[in-house]
Amino acid sequence: MTEKALLEGGPDDLPERIVRITPPGQELKIPHRGGYEHFKVTTKHQDTDQGRVTVYEWWERTEIAE
């Protein structure tokens, strides 16, 4: 089953704030502007137009090595 997460924090220009996650409960690494935005799962949930989703909070950015 594919679940969804709400991304909280991080850059204002992320293209999506609700993303699919498989499997749930893992750290998310979202490619963005030549690097990755890292989000960690929380115990929070939020009701959205796509249903009730788990909230993931931003915690760091890493650059892609060239």
Q: Which pLDDT tens digit goes with each residue over 4-55?
A: 999 999 999 999 999 998 776 778 999 999 999 999 999 999 999 999 999 9
Give the range of the structural domain holding residue 45, as residue numbers without chain letter.
3-63
Q: Residue 64: what pLDDT? A: 85
- Cβ contact 40:47 at 8 Å: no
- The count of structural domains within the chain is 1
Per-residue pLDDT at 1 exceeds 60: no
- Predicted confidence band of residue 65 (pLDDT cuts 50, 70, 90): confident
Per-residue pLDDT at 66 exceeds 80: no
Q: Residue 13: what pLDDT? A: 96
Amino acid in position 17: R
What per-residue string of b and e applies to 4-39 under the rule 16 or more CB within 10 Å gives b?
Answer: ebbbeebeeebeeeebebeeeeeebebeeeeebbbb
Q: Residue 24: what pLDDT? A: 67
